[in-house]
């Protein structure tokens, strides 16, 4: 992918690559090193949303429009990145699509997430219009921490309509698979994490069978907690969710990735 291109830059620790509130100037892929994604809270403090590592892409929304960035991306130590402007990206789409399919993969994930968001908003509007109970009638996944919300593309909630719905860590190896292939092994929610990893590549999944909803741990390294209780690999690999809100911790009760699963 980007590794074959010549647009490589090396930046030093603390360099701001994307700045919240300002338009991006291209799409980036990290070749070596780490970067952090942050947002400024109302009280002026810095909120950590994610940490990015080798092979991860950011700034891709600048390919679509010139809207201001919703977060900062800052180098953590010396960082080697490949940078493409919008013009360079679209030239490569015509001449060497293999080199940019990683970016296309990210864009398609965003499109699928936004489509789900539109459906969710339409359902909420219909409920209000009909003066019905606004409680959703579908299984919903919501981020309870800033990193969890960021993993959901800052959506209020995500409708879970895949069975099983797989949650795992983004990996460079998976990103090399074609974005137009039907690869059932890829996670529906791919969380960006860096070493020491909290999220396993296939961490857990939400399953529906016989009218009930379950969280199943996929032998993750650090485990999955449901409503404060760890799924015990020795006695049970799944926990039935109760109607209403259920809290899911990925990787420990002190993990920054905490979600709510609403069961109608």
Q: What's the CATH number where 145 sits?
A: 2.60.200.20
Pick the more confident residue, 93 or 228. Answer: 228
Residue 108 lies in a domain: no
Residue 110, pLDDT score: 66
Across the chain, what does the average pLDDT equal?
83
Structural domain range at position 56: 2-95
Question: How many domains is the chain built from?
Answer: 2
128 shares its domain with 232: yes
Q: pLDDT for 137-157, tens place per residue?
A: 789 999 999 999 999 887 778
129 shares its domain with 257: yes
CATH number at residue 38: 2.60.120.10
136 shares its domain with 235: yes
**Cα 109 from chain centre:** 9
CB count within 10 Å of CB 159 equals 18
Confidence class of residue 161 from pLDDT cuts 50, 70 and 90? confident
129 shares its domain with 87: no
Average pLDDT over residues 202-211: 94
Does residue 129 surpass a pLDDT of 50? no
Does residue 132 surpass a pLDDT of 80? no
Confidence class of residue 57 from pLDDT cuts 50, 70 and 90? confident
Strand intervals (E) in the chain = 8-11, 16-18, 27-40, 46-52, 57-58, 72-84, 140-143, 158-159, 165-169, 189-191, 204-209, 212-217, 224-226, 229-230, 238-240, 244-250, 258-263
Residue 172 lies in a domain: yes
Q: Where are the alpha helices (DSSP H) in 44-137?
A: 86-95, 101-129
Residue 234, pLDDT score: 74
């Amino acid at each position: 992918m980007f590794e074959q291109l010549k647009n490589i830059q090396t930046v030093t620790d603390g360099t701001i690559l994307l700045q919240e509130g300002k338009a991006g100037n291209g799409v980036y892929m990290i070749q070596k090193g780490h970067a952090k994604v942050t947002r400024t809270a109302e009280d002026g403090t810095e909120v950590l949303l994610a940490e990015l590592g080798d092979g991860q892409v950011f700034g891709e929304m600048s390919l679509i429009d010139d809207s201001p960035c919703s977060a900062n991306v800052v180098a953590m130590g010396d960082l080697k990145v490949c940078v493409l402007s919008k013009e360079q990206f679209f030239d490569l789409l015509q001449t060497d699509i293999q080199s940019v399919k990683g970016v296309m993969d990210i864009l398609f994930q965003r499109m699928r997430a936004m489509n789900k968001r539109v459906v969710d908003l339409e359902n909420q509007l219909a409920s209000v219009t009909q003066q019905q109970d606004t409680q959703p009638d579908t299984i919903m996944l919501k981020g309870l921490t800033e990193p969890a919300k960021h993993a959901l593309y800052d959506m209020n909630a995500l409708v879970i309509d895949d069975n099983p719905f797989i949650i795992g860590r983004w990996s460079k190896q998976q990103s090399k698979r074609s974005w137009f292939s039907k690869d059932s092994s890829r996670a529906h929610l791919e969380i960006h994490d860096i070493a020491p990893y909290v999220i396993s590549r296939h961490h857990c999944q939400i399953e529906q069978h016989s009218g009930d909803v379950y969280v199943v741990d996929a032998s993750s390294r650090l485990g999955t907690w449901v409503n404060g209780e760890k799924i015990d690999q020795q006695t049970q690999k799944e926990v039935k969710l109760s109607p209403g809100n259920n809290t899911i911790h990925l990787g420990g009760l002190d993990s920054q990735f905490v979600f709510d699963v609403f069961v109608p």
